[in-house]
Structures are given as C-alpha cells and as structure tokens.
Amino acid sequence: MNKPALRWLATGFEYATFLKVLLLLAALAFCVPKANASDLNVMVNESVMLSALNRTELRQIFTGHRQYWSDGTKITVFVLQDNDKLHKQFCREVLQMFPYQLSRLWDQITYSGQGVTPIRVSSYEELVEALERTKGAIGYVGSDEIVKLRRVEVSES
C-alpha cells in the first residue's frame, strides 16, 4: 500500500466511510421510482387486425425493415423525439437498443433509398392523435386506456 493512489485505503476510517457511502448510493439506486415496461404499450390503429408481435417483428417494423402488414397495408411508424423520456424507455426496454442506434438505422435506410424514417412527433398528445387517424399506424404509448387504438402484445423472439 505504498502507492500514492491507494494510500487512502490504508486507514480503516476512510475505507469504512467509503463503503458506507457506496452502500448508501446502491440503496438509493434501487429506491428511485422508475416506469415499468408494463407502463409502455405498443399500439396500432384500429384498422390493423393484429393482437401480438414478437420482439424480432417489432424491431423489423421500427427499424424500417418491414414496411407492410400481412394484408398489404403500408405500416406508418410514429415515434416521439429522440430526447423524450418515453422514447428512450421504449428503445431500451422494448426494442432493447439505444435511441441513437435506432436513429442511425433510420438514417441508413433513408439515405440508401430503401425506406423512410418513422414520423417523429413533438408531443405525446400528437402521437396519440396520429395513431388514431392514420390507417396502418403503429407506435407506443404510456397507457392502454386509449379507446380508438388496439394494444399489441409483445412476446420474446
């Protein structure tokens, strides 16, 4: 313990204080309220006759690799802005990717001419309204109490 960077470990008091602070921070991390994945719901317009998608199919839709529903209707994807809390949560918990990864995929598809990016809306209310009025639309919301939309169950691959 002669190294200057580790000298603080030599005294028991400072080490015990460090452990207490670390334990306190860990406890606080578990106590912070966090929205559950169950609060997130993938919703489609009522015109889409679909009740479930697996995670792979959902990723294909939100990354632009799948552009049509099974009945031939064009899929229109609506999302919130990249910095929106609900969008970040959806990307991490449902798609299991970071928002910046999703944006990069959208850019690749757009610039290569293979598809179009999802439509970004600026507010939650605008997202719900767009999902309700657009045939073939898909998006995510914070609750499933919206009457004019159909909730889609997301299963593991």
pLDDT of residue 149: 82
Residue 129 has pLDDT above 90, yes or no: yes
- The residue among 139, 133, 140, 153 whose CA lies nearest residue 46 is 133
Residue 78 has pLDDT above 80, yes or no: yes
Domain residue ranges in the chain: 1-32, 37-155
pTM assigned to the model: 0.71
pLDDT confidence tier of residue 144, bands split at 50, 70 and 90: low
Residue 70 has pLDDT above 80, yes or no: yes
Q: Among 12-16, 36-40, 74-78, which range has the highest average pLDDT?
A: 74-78
pLDDT confidence tier of residue 148, bands split at 50, 70 and 90: confident
As a whole number, the mean pLDDT across the chain is 82
22-67 pLDDT tens trace:
666 666 555 444 444 457 899 999 999 888 999 999 999 999 889 9
pLDDT of residue 37: 45
If you classify domain 37-155 with CATH, what class do you get? Answer: alpha beta
